[in-house]
Amino acid sequence: MPNLSTTYLGVPLKSPLVVAASSISSHVDRVQMAESAGAGALVIRSLFEEQIQLDSMQLDEFLAAGSDSFSEATSFFPKIEHGGSKEHLMWVEKTRKAVSMPIFASLNAVSPGAWVTYAKQLARTGVNGLEVNLYSVPTDMGKSGSDIEKALYEVIESIKAEVALPVAVKLSPYYTSPANVIKQLEQHGAGAVVLFNRFLQPDIDPDTETLVNEMVLSNPAELRVPLRWAALLYGRTRLDLAVNTGVHTGRDAIKALLAGATVVQVASTLLQNGIPYLSTMLLDIQNWMDERGYKSLDDFRGKVSQKHCDDPFAFERAQYVKLLSSIH
Ligand SMILES: Cc1cc2nc3c(=O)[nH]c(=O)nc-3n(C[C@H](O)[C@H](O)[C@H](O)COP(=O)(O)O)c2cc1C
């Protein structure tokens, strides 16, 4: 049997399939199921600073509403303080203990200090590494791209200064120069990049003339963007590359590995096909490797990257002009 083991963020993994941050991590039995089906690791859903603030505000409102109803009410209520990140941290710790595969925590903060505070708290749960989820939609017209990028590097640097764990950065594909951002992240202490965060875009319903925010799972066509970037980056950065978004089958995972992925993260396909589908994906990878005589992932990782491909320009303009002219 071909060997599927790999190393991600310095942590040995028995397979390159990593369960992406998602609701799959909300139940311990699902995490255990992922481990039994052959997952190499799992990322726990993010600790969102806004969620903590919202819960805290709701608690404050509830207490305030109660105290309006009865003049003495404030004395009825014992001093309740919002648990903050406590509940999430307990969950991370419980999950960490329930399985032996590596577990990564994910964090999405808004204020600069909060990133470090929560990173330190998450590090104490015993997780193997941190994924910094940079999901944000910058809308401030007064803020330049370089201001936003500078703030990002400061976040990574300050986390690395306080936390000994390896850090992966889940990036947006929408930087003017993702390659430069990735180079800077490397210099500021990141260990891996997750290509890419999947931005959920609101839709508009013309019948009701309202916004529609619904959770739509990914489709395999979305793999093209991370695939191209993994292929462009392979061999040009020391960072591990986690390809994420649009990996739905074992064949998709093979494509990502050929492009240069260190690991492949999956969520939508497991929500659609069930968590045991991981084992089918792994079997498809092994069968494909067997057919070609590959003994380990390193035998073919990055084989179709820009570095190793016959036409190094293919990934850049991707035959843009030729393809456009070919449709009549
Ligand atoms: C139900 C659900 C919950 C998710 N929660 C998180 C989260 O908490 N943090 C995060 O960084 N990504 C989250 N994601 C995004 C996934 O980690 C992943 O980046 C995205 O779904 C693309 O991968 P896929 O094509 O395999 O689904 C979530 C996705 C889904 C479907």
Residue 227 inside a domain? The answer is yes
User: Which atom of ligand 1 is nearest to 20's Cα?
Assistant: 17
Closest-CA residue, ligand 1 atom 28, reads 22
Residue 22 Cα to ligand 1 middle (Å) = 5
Instruction: Report the range out of 7-11, 44-48, 72-76 with the highest average pLDDT.
Output: 7-11
The reported pLDDT for the residue numbered 318 is 62
98 — phi, psi (to 5°)?
-80, -15
Percent of the chain with pLDDT over 90: 74
The reported pLDDT for the residue numbered 65 is 53
Residue 183 inside a domain? The answer is yes
In sequence order, the 6+-apart residues with CB closer than 8 A to the CB of 226 are 173, 195, 196, 243, 244, 245, 246, 256
Residue 255 inside a domain? The answer is yes
Residue 112 inside a domain? The answer is yes
**For position 213, which CATH number holds?**
3.20.20.70
Residue 143 inside a domain? The answer is yes
DSSP characters for 250-304? HHHHHHHHHHT-SEEEESHHHHHH-TTHHHHHHHHHHHHHHHHT--BGGGTTTTT
User: Which atom of ligand 1 is nearest to 246's Cα?
Assistant: 25
| Residue 56 binned pLDDT confidence (cut-offs 50, 70, 90) | low
Residue 26 inside a domain? The answer is yes
pLDDT at 220 > cutoff 80: yes
Q: Could you give the CA distance from residue 219 to residue 196 in angstroms, rounded to a whole number?
A: 14
pLDDT at 77 > cutoff 50: no
Domain count, the chain: 1
Residue 31 inside a domain? The answer is yes
Closest-CA residue, ligand 1 atom 22, reads 245
Residue 59 inside a domain? The answer is yes
User: Which atom of ligand 1 is nearest to 245's Cα?
Assistant: 25
| Residue 283 binned pLDDT confidence (cut-offs 50, 70, 90) | very high
Q: What residues flank ligand 1, with Cβ below 6 Å?
A: 20-23, 45-46, 106, 133, 170, 198, 215, 217-218, 244-247, 266-269, 271
Closest-CA residue, ligand 1 atom 23, reads 245
Given ligand 1 and candidates 18, 22, 167, 169, which is best to mutate, with the most ligand atoms within 8 Å of its CB?
22
Least trusted range by pLDDT, from 75-79, 84-88, 115-119, 305-309 = 75-79
Q: Which domain holds residue 249?
A: 6-326
Residue at token pair 């310095």: 10
User: pLDDT averaged over the chain?
Assistant: 89
Residue 153 Cα to ligand 1 middle (Å) = 23
Residue 267 Cα to ligand 1 middle (Å) = 6
